[in-house]
A and B are shown apart, each in its own frame.
Chain A
Amino acid sequence: MLLHRPLSVLLSVLASLALAGAALAADLTALVGNLTSGGLSEREAAITALAASGEERAAPILEALGAGQLYIRNSDKLAVIGKVDGNKLALTEAVSGKPAGSAVEADLERVRVNNRLRGTIEAAVGSLTLMSPNARTRLSAADALFKRRDATAMAALDQALAAEKDPRIKRAMSEARAAIVLATADSPPAQKLEAIAVVRERGDRDSLGVLKTVAAASTGEVKAAATAGADSIEQALAAWQMAQNVWYGISLGSVLLLAAIGLAITFGTMGVINMAHGEMVMLGAYTTFVVQEVIRTSAPHLFDVSLLIALPLAFVVSGAIGILIERTIIRFLYGRPLDTLLATWGLSLVLQQAVRSIFGSSNREVGAPSWMSGAFQLGQLNITYGRLWIVVFALIVFVSLILVLRKTPLGLYMRAVTQNRPMAAAVGIRTPRVDALTFGLGSGIAGLAGVALSQIDNVSPNLGQGYIIDSFMVVVFGGVGNLFGTLIGALTLGVVNKFLEPYAGAVLGKILVLVFIILFIQRRPRGLFALKGRSVE
């Protein structure tokens, strides 16, 4: 018996639902009939009635009407919804939602609407979608309502608010309700104050607009509350703007860091001016391009991991070319930094032209894997996954480089050779080998940077040239021979650049930063964090 009771209740509910359904279907036909007959003013009443019916089919019918897709079929006067399908229209029955064949437009008569009706329809659809079973639809309906502040939707909104379970949507709905309350001139001040608190809580640019309108239109306590709310939102928004700038700055800084960190090794610890460093970055980017091409043609399902495959390859390609350069050119020029500068500049021209001959001078397309595309919202911050990953990647590279230098034998040898070459040689370190490996390491890291930069920059033979001056600036600014200086330098320059941009424009901002560094080097010729030592030159 105890078991039977719920069952019987369920059955009776189902039965009543079926009955109600039949009754409503009949109603709906009549309502749609009103919609398609009569003049434009009667049509408005019909739309409101249809919206008030609470029917599930009401929303698609009204949407179709608003979009000019509701037709009367000439043959049987049936109301249908027609969607373009080739040069015919695919029809569905308006009332039942069942497919109803297809027809050309000449066999149909469109139900006409004017702009005023479109407004009514939009409001009606907005309130209908509030009850939709789909959570996303409800949320966007609430947001739309917040922006439109349509008082006629109040009843529907209250109903939806009572039924809503999801706290996020519930909040969006109560915000919309508050906005409507504020938009209605004759709502009582107590309600308005409450509403102001709700809108203030929301705190985005739209809420600021709402509160500003209220502050302008009302008096007394309400005006004060609205003004205070608007001010606090404005402050919060300014803070978010600041945070956004900092984020952009960090993002730019991480790019600079990636480009400069290899240079910090070759220039910073070895004292070799490698003007071809940018070309190592470029080679890394082209390696990524080649890897993606191979994957596209032979194993498309691997596309999402293409960058992970490209990373070690780019490191090896750039590193190997770096070692080759060190063995054939740079080792003859130790102690002649200015000559090294010229020779490596020549080398950069050769590498650029070689890449241009092989791959052509136009930009190459490097795609983003799915986990790097898209964005998410953090408060009022808009963060793209691509940028986020580059920041993370730059930090990973930085930390691993520090670990290599501090914890591995190679790092130990490198530091020994940097600090005192003859002594290191005397205790049995093969300094030429260490030189070659250090240069290879720096170049290989440039290759890694190339993989990351291929995601945000044009992959062309000139890719590296754009970074070389910036990279030198970062290394010199941060202090030569100090990796932490490079980190701080890169981030500082990135953030400063982004903060200057709104005031001075991108190009002028960059010029100002260059001038700033030129002046800074005069003050502190050895950079922010100079290595302390006693050598004169």
Chain B
Amino acid sequence: MTSTATPTQSLPDAELAHYNPKSESAGTKRVKSTVFHLVALALTAVVLYPGLWMIASAFKPNSEIGGSNTSLWSNNFSFDNFVTAMDGIGGVSTLQFFTNSLILAIGAVVGTILSASVSAYAFARIKFPGRSIFFGMMIATLLLPFHVVIIPQYIVFQQLGLVDTYVPLLIGKFLAADAFFVFLMVQFMRNLPAELDEAARIDGAGHVRIFTSIMLPLMKPALISTSIFSFIWSWNDFLGPLLYLNTPDKYPLPLALRLFVDQTQSSDYGAMIAMSVLALLPVLIFFLVFQRYIVEGVSTQGLKG
């Protein structure tokens, strides 16, 4: 038995070596993987082309941006466009526009964090009459086209003398008007164990204590996603400032860009694109630093870009 055992055992081994499905699939795997990367890289090139074109053009002289220039490279790269762009427009420096955008974005983040977290706590952790009705209404506002409220809002702010101030742009943030963030935080809090509050309650803690010393620290990931997205949304917002701001020295970057487009009209494409790059810079930096958070946030909470 032992003498024949060796060949019979080695025979399938030899056959296996010949027809090893593993080694064959390793070969096809490599081909498949190469094809995958070729397709994915080609797609990456297409997707990133507009961004690269924008950055390259910002460094090119005007004569090389329009016309037959599809190439990203130039022999005449310079910072000239950025120097022009930093001068600003309408007698206001670009630094001022940056400051304005920053004030609005930070205001949006602070307001949203404060109001959305408190409201979400009520929805997620406190039982009170009418809660599910209000929750349903909150969800409904997610789907509501906001154009239906801008006209009366404008009329009210106009009558209060608040047009051309930041109040109309920020007040909604402090009143949790971006229902998406409330929803996000409710979902997050519902996944935290209920025993936490119960234990704290037995120890005599009220809702204020439970919220500030138990919920808030545990909600860090949701607070970070909210901060990132409310910053970026505020930074890119165009309609709000367009409606409410009239004097250029209060403009955030998107409105300044529109002014730039209106006044230069294709005469200085280079500076216009340089300014577009500058306006996107904080968003791009945010993206590079927080991409994990951002992409995870989108995949788990269905946030929009």
A and B interact: no
- On A, residues with C-beta under 8 Å from B are none
- On B, residues with C-beta under 8 Å from A are none
